[in-house]
Chain A
Amino acid sequence: MPDDIERPQPPASPQTVAELLPYLPVSADYGRQWALVFGDELAERLAEVQAAHPTQHWARPVQLTDGRHMLCGDLLSEVPSGLYGVGFQHLDASRFDEISIVPWAEAVALLPQPDTLPE
């Protein structure tokens, strides 16, 4: 069997994680273009799942200034069977359409500003 068969390419402008499920794992470079953004309920569910299945690798969201939670899209290069595969496999796949994909720069603009250092 030839080993140079090209894998199908993920969409150029995905809207939710559900659209990317057939393409996982995506490449790290593809994933770095995106942020995964979701609400409080999914953030709590993610924490519960990881607490129930602890590993050394934690998908740890940060809260944006608009109240939503954000993970970096390159985590999708480590699922379903990479560093974050354990927790991923215990998530409810039917809710992946609730995780929005937004351009990384847009999400970074919503990160809280760190305390400034003394002058």
Chain B
Amino acid sequence: MSLAAKLPWTHRFAGGYGGIGSQPLPTDADAIDYLSRMATADGAGVETGVAVAVDAFFRGLKATPGLFDAIKASCILCGARTLNGALVPMAGAAPANNNFISDDYTRGGATPGLKGNGSNKRLSQANPATPLQNSAHQAIYLSANSAFAAPSEATHIAEWPTSGTAGRTQITTNTSQTFTRCRETTGSYLGSTSVGVIGISRSDPADYVRRVGQASETITETSTGTPEQVVYVFNNSSGSYSDARLAFYSIGESLDLEALDEAVSTLVTAIGAAV
């Protein structure tokens, strides 16, 4: 990596100077806004290598029609210099941090992200958009999976109704299984799981798409309702906490999970190499 890539992206010579190489700087207006808010929270701008990866991520999302706008709330839980910076939202409102400490956060390397403790740590935030019954998605980047073995499990993200089970939406894993619901009651198991992007997206009352291990499948389960607007990351409302490490999460309306997977996976890999 060049010396220029290690300079804060806000540095006057970040774009290049004789002897330290040259490189492009962020150009996407939304990426620059996000990076600027992150720099305020962190106390310094991230390295240019990280900033360029974030810029490419934003531009990649926008290259697929509807993808960027479908993300209503999201945090990139890697790259930022501090936990404060990681909790700056790329979309939607900032989450409330319940019990995470700075040491729970790893900004780069092979397994970046924020690690739960499986007991009492979670993020919570309001979904800024009214949840829709038949247009919804949730996605996470699982850097390191839960250590819980069946029948125990870790819920990584959930948006449930205030009472009852209709319209539950969640992504849960243990060491051998993946369990998802998308605006429904029953839920569906996959007899395997994988690190990387796990996502669900519903655009039809009759079924939704689940993506695990870079493979998508259609789950035929009818939607049954809408959840409340509070989203929990690393937890659901009934006390199933995650002990996994997550590098990204997003919620919102239905979207192209394969395109999101490609953009997020590229981002996390690039950030991991940059810091």
Instruction: Name A residues whose Cβ lies closer than 8 Å to a Cβ of B.
Output: 28, 31, 56-62, 70-72, 74-75, 77-78, 82-83, 108, 111-118
* Contact count A vs B, C-beta below 8 Å: 74
Interface positions of B from 210 to 247, Cβ below 8 Å from A:
236, 238-241
Known contacts A58-B99, A77-B101, A83-B97, then 12 further A-B pairs from the complex at CB < 8 Å, ordered by chain A residue: A56-B94, A57-B97, A58-B97, A59-B99, A61-B120, A72-B121, A75-B101, A77-B103, A114-B236, A115-B238, A117-B151, A118-B186
Bound Cα distance A59, B97 (Å): 8
Could you give 14 example pairs across A and B, Cβ below 8 Å?
Answer: A28-B101, A57-B100, A60-B120, A60-B122, A70-B120, A72-B99, A74-B103, A82-B101, A83-B84, A113-B239, A114-B239, A114-B241, A117-B187, A118-B187
B99 touches A111 (CB 8 A): no
Bound Cα distance A22, B85 (Å): 30
Bound Cα distance A31, B117 (Å): 13
A108 touching B99 in the complex, CB below 8 Å, given contacts A114-B240, A117-B187: no
Which one of A61, A70, A118 has the greatest number of beta carbons of chain B within 10 Å? A118
Residue of B nearest to A76 (CB): B101
Q: Which 9 A-B pairs have the closest CB atoms?
A: A28-B103, A114-B240, A60-B98, A114-B239, A115-B238, A62-B120, A57-B97, A114-B238, A78-B101
A74 touches B101 (CB 8 A): yes
Residue of B nearest to A29 (CB): B103
Which one of A82, A112, A116, A117 has the greatest number of beta carbons of chain B within 10 Å? A117
What count of chain B residues pass the 8 Å CB interface test? 30
A111 touching B101 in the complex, CB below 8 Å, given contacts A56-B87, A72-B120: no
Residue of B nearest to A54 (CB): B96
Of A56, A61, A75, which is within 8 A of B96 by CB? A56
A58 touches B96 (CB 8 A): yes
Interface positions of B from 167 to 224, Cβ below 8 Å from A:
172, 179, 186-187
Q: Is B119 an interface residue (CB 8 A)?
A: yes
Q: Is B261 an interface residue (CB 8 A)?
A: no
A72 touching B186 in the complex, CB below 8 Å, given contacts A77-B101, A83-B102, A112-B239: no
Q: Is B83 an interface residue (CB 8 A)?
A: yes
B187 touches A75 (CB 8 A): no
Chain A hits for B100, CB < 8 A: 57
A6 smallest CB distance to B (angstroms): 20
Residue of B nearest to A108 (CB): B119
A117 touches B153 (CB 8 A): yes
Chain B hits for A56, CB < 8 A: 84, 87, 94-97
Residue of B nearest to A57 (CB): B97
Bound Cα distance A56, B240 (Å): 22
Chain B hits for A108, CB < 8 A: 119
B203 smallest CB distance to A (angstroms): 24
Residue of A nearest to B187 (CB): A118
Residue of A nearest to B117 (CB): A72
Residue of A nearest to B186 (CB): A118
